[in-house]
Structure 1
Amino acid sequence: MTIEDYRQAIECKVRGAWSLHKASLEQPLDFFTMLSSISSVVGNEGQANYAAANAFLDAFAHYRKSLRLPANSVDLGAIEDDVRNPINSVSSAQLITGITFPLPNDGSLELTGEARFGYLFSSSSNAVGGDETGNYSEAAADQAVKAFHMMHESGSDVTSLLKASLSLISAQVTKILHLEAEVDAGEPLQTYGLDSLSAVELRGWLRNKLGAELSTLDITNARSLYALCEKIMPQIKEGAC
């Protein structure tokens, strides 16, 4: 594209955001919400100017937050519902919609070879963080944990977070107990052979990776994996792992 085309797409968002920012300094606002695009995160071939303009909005939201001013940029992808619900005074500066997790690691997406997006991919469709043979590797597990924290910090709804935590913790239990298939979310973990020793191992993992403090009895006496995840959800801490 020409430099004129590049600047034309960028300047309207940059100048507009900056003008509104300056005006808001004279009259404090409760909300300062900018509509960005998922292209600022994943790019879009042939639209480098549009992607750059929206990347500015994302960075500007973080800038305003650093000044203790309200700001949110919402990176819109496919829209199925009202995006205003997750926005509040404690929302993350940048909210990203439209990226499915986990993404298929089948080469169908241009992001597959980009290391910075590696944590969004699952090598196995049957288990979170599986490698090419379906095994649950430490590196893949850490990527899954990072993706979960990204969802948590971006203000995802409780239902989505609970579903993601079920996949994450089910995969870890499968690894600890050396199971050939993932556990049923509705069954007690003792059904699969969970004892006090394996409960201690899971307890340590939950503390280190999710910041959740549970006793071994909380784990061994859980009615089901689903019930255990419900107990864990209020305790998840940002910055764990």
Structure 2
Amino acid sequence: AAPGAAELEAELSALGAKVTIAACDFADRAATAELLDSLPDLDAVVHAAGVLDDGVLDSLTPQRLATVLKSKVDSAITLDELTRNRDLSAFVLFSSLAATLGAAGQGNYVAANAVLDALAEHRAGLGLPATSIAWGPWAGAGMAAGTGTRSERGGIRPLAPDVATAALGQALSGSDTVVAVADVDWAQFAPGFTAVRAARLLDDLPEARRALETVVKPEPDFRAKLDALTGPERERALLDLVRAEVAAVLGYASPATVDPGLAFKELGLDSLTAVELRNGLAAVTGLSLPATLGFDYANPAALAQHLGRELGPADPAAAAEAELDRIEAAFAALTAEQLAGTRITTRLQALLSRLGTGPAENTRQKLETASETEIFDFIDNELGLA
């Protein structure tokens, strides 16, 4: 028996409860049958077993899958088969929200809990009692201990135990075979959950729909903005994007606190958050990116350079137009007095000569004798900056 089992049994017995605490591997059919035979008055089964062996999909092995399935699936199937002849009032399976929504780095755990949901549906189809509850993380101790910060960043808050037990009672008194119970901040969760692709799962949830309706779409989009930039400004925009995504995934206070020269591992990136980083960057850039993105490049600066290569060079025409916009804004801030005595006239002459905008000699002559006001008019009319 588990440590403290005798003390727990004594406390419950003092409250008038009939308690039997026994150690049993429920994946072992013979041991389970022996235990059930010792409980002739068994009225309900609550299956709350589970173990974790997390890792991204390409790191999973048959053994790592079997480890999780044995605890979750094998034991549930054994209990199902060996209690078919019992008149049970309830057969409760503790599933996980991971099977409902998916969970990065938990492919084996997702699959195991999906089987529990399917088993409940199967039992219900046979007219047997069955309820599978896809739980979000519980606060305090348990399998979710230590994951609170990460899950809360995604909008899934730990359930208070008293709220969770109240929800359990509601689930058992209802008619649904499979239910999900979680404390969700929809304003935070829904946009992130649909960042890479739409999710029909949320269509019937009013809270999720309202959250998605309030999401402000950036205008212009990142790629359009990037195409209008060149040189250092383009490089800075790419690095800002990477730092912002890293800060969001790893919980940094702001993108400015992310050191672009520090290795991703030193920044705190692991296999799970690497997937989240890839998803965020893919959503913004529209690129097809590998899940190993955070490990393929030394640091945020190197990753930003890679994204720049993948996105291709800026459109020359768009970049030139953006530069003209900047020139127009600069001239708008100058007075005729400030313009006098500068080399601007000479540089405009050289630029127009290269562009072949009209006869160069005539243009040069006009600019040489033009007043400050006439030069402003020339910029507006000839270069199309008006």
TM range, smaller chain:
0.3 to 0.5
Bigger CA radius of gyration: 2
| TM-score, structure 1 normalization | 0.47
Higher relative contact order (CA 8 A, sep 6+): 1
TM-score, normalized by length of structure 2? 0.30
